[in-house]
Amino acid sequence: MVVGAGPVGLSLAIELGWRGVPVTVIDQGDGRVPFPAGEAIFSRTMEHLRRWGCAEEARAESAPPTDYPHRTVFATSVTGHVLAEFDYGVTNRSPGVYGPLTPEGPAFLSKFSFLPLLERTARGLPSVEIRFATRLETFDQDSDGVLAVVRDLESGASETLAGAYLVACDGGRSGVRRALDIEFEGMFAQGQNFAVHFRAPQLPALLRERLGGPAVQIHTLSSARRPYITVVNGVDEWRLSVYLEQEPEPGDAVAWVQEAVGAPIDVEILAAQPWSGHCVVARSYRAERVFLAGDSAHLLWPKGGFGANTGIGDAVDLGWKLAAVLQGWAGSTLLDSYESERRPIAVRNVTEASNNWRSDSQLAPDDTLGRADAEGDGARGEMGETIRRSRGKEFRCTGIQLGYRYSGSPICVPDGTPEPPDEPDDYVPSTWPGCRAPHAWLPDGSSVLDHFGRGFVLVVSGSADPSALVEAAHHRGVPLTVLRLADPAAARLYERPLVLVRPDGHVGWRGEQAPADPGAVLDRLRGAEAGNPAAGSVMVTRTGSARVASRQL
């Protein structure tokens, strides 16, 4: 059972359904998207969509349009002076600088199009059920599974659902997390902000005239509020965000938009809401048969777009592991690795997002920036250099997107080599155990990544003999296929003649030749160290009931 039908809950449902696992998603909302947020869809997330079969649909039906440039501009205002810009040749159709690194460049998708896409994809899988207007009331867990009492908010009727596991994807105020008494650790409310969804048909023409063309974001230094505008549909809808130290007054939203634009354009306010930036991670991600994922496990600043992408990474990691347990080939400790792998990634990402916010908050407006003289030119030049130096890594975060790795994972086998550098704005492909297996195009036009997912894949190059690992997998009932790399460039990229890739596309083991004990390697990768029982025999010792507080999703 999955609680919450946001991007993380729906992604987990797709991941499980894609693997043939029955899953029920409940959400007390009505399925409508009330506010546009979370537009940056990372390359790694798009690779997951590619595997699920919906990446092309995401790009074809995208808002903004497929050819809209992913260009970010810093300016005194929309009608003022450009201070710096970041443009890496990316659109929803073109991967730009990401092309050599991935079969799927990043996308910029309005939540109005992204969430319906995920819902359609999930509903297209026969083992997935989605129930809106359904609230989780209570749950109990024991060694056999989880019983959840849910209420239909339209009829008022309640019923009990049974499942092997329950995953909380119910947001930052997660009732499930509170019921489990799992606390967040870190800094709350590092800054108060206000967001405005608005319509302004004149804005595209102003961008072409004054800023050199379309942009997905325009950050302004027009005031201490630092208003910035984000595209929603690429035509007439936008989102504005401001730093705010006091409650807004009626009419402020229109004034903020006009302040960012630098001109009294016509503005229609569609929606507005406050929000806070946080830097927190849940103390733990699991209480026996109940797991946390997405915002229920971590909250971060939207500086870099890490939030939903981090949560979808949670869903993929947990999804393949739950499937392995339920399909009977996992070991008893596989599910323990979810927290040990994903929590450090959350800490890394919330920290980097907070650092991005701090860098942005140090950019102070200055009247000199608007002057049309030599002093103004000099001030703008200095500010532009400061922006490029301090803010650039947020807008080309290839390391955050593709370079995360599961260092010290209990289900990866280290090979004694140094860990590759982990820089947020740089990605160097590597098969170091725990890293994402690199992309390479194969002679048949497919990516190496297209061959990963259903089970383990042993990538073989040269004359290496895969038979020992294949036999060990067969003996244990572990799904494993062999992929041979005939292309010398792809073989060099994979660094070792034998690379064992997990169902989530991360490297679990690599070697020059078959390991001395191939069974021990397979046992470690499936969470079944020698002597440990199969997952089905795990006993859950904690029982009892926990009441879940009502919350609006």
H helix or E strand, kind and range, residue 114:
helix 111-123
Final residue of a structural domain among 323, 358, 393? 358
Tell me the pairing of strands 290-292 and 166-168.
Answer: parallel
353 and 435 part of one domain: no
CA 104: distance to chain centroid? 15
At CA 390, angle to CA 387 and CA 393, rounded to 5? 105
141 and 24 part of one domain: yes
Q: Rounded to whole angstroms, how far apart are CA atoms 331 and 525?
A: 9
Q: Give a yes or no: residue 370 inside a domain.
A: no
CATH number of the domain residue 472 falls in: 3.40.30.120
Domain count along the chain: 2
53 and 154 part of one domain: yes
CATH number of the domain residue 354 falls in: 3.50.50.60
417 and 353 part of one domain: no
46 and 160 part of one domain: yes
Q: Give a yes or no: residue 521 inside a domain.
A: yes
Q: Give a yes or no: residue 348 inside a domain.
A: yes
53 and 170 part of one domain: yes
491 and 347 part of one domain: no
Nearest-CA neighbor of 206 among 196, 194, 218, 224?
218
Q: Rounded to whole angstroms, how far apart are CA atoms 28 and 43?
A: 31
Q: Rounded to whole angstroms, how far apart are CA atoms 59 and 109?
A: 8
Final residue of a structural domain among 358, 389, 423? 358
Q: Rounded to whole angstroms, how far apart are CA atoms 107 and 91?
A: 7
497 and 442 part of one domain: yes
Q: Rounded to whole angstroms, how far apart are CA atoms 421 and 435?
A: 11
Q: Give a yes or no: residue 419 inside a domain.
A: yes
| Residue pLDDT tens, the chain, 553 long | 999 999 999 999 999 999 999 999 999 999 999 999 878 999 999 999 999 999 999 998 888 999 999 999 999 999 999 999 999 999 999 999 999 999 999 999 989 999 999 999 999 999 999 999 999 999 999 999 999 999 999 999 999 999 999 999 999 999 999 999 999 999 998 778 999 999 999 999 999 999 999 999 999 999 999 999 999 999 999 999 999 878 888 899 999 999 999 999 999 999 999 988 899 999 999 999 999 999 999 999 999 999 999 999 999 999 999 999 999 999 999 999 999 999 999 999 999 999 999 999 999 999 999 999 999 999 999 999 999 999 999 999 999 999 999 999 999 999 999 999 999 999 999 999 999 999 999 999 999 999 999 999 999 999 999 999 999 999 999 999 999 999 999 999 999 999 999 999 999 999 999 999 999 999 999 999 753 444 443 322 222 333 333 322 2
489 and 419 part of one domain: yes
Q: Give a yes or no: residue 386 inside a domain.
A: no
429 and 527 part of one domain: yes
416 and 506 part of one domain: yes
| Token pair in block for residue 430 | 């590597």
Q: Give a yes or no: residue 202 inside a domain.
A: no
Q: Give a yes or no: residue 299 inside a domain.
A: yes
Domain that holds residue 486: 403-531
407 and 354 part of one domain: no
Q: Give a yes or no: residue 76 inside a domain.
A: no
Q: Rounded to whole angstroms, how far apart are CA atoms 303 and 312?
A: 17
Final residue of a structural domain among 358, 393, 417? 358
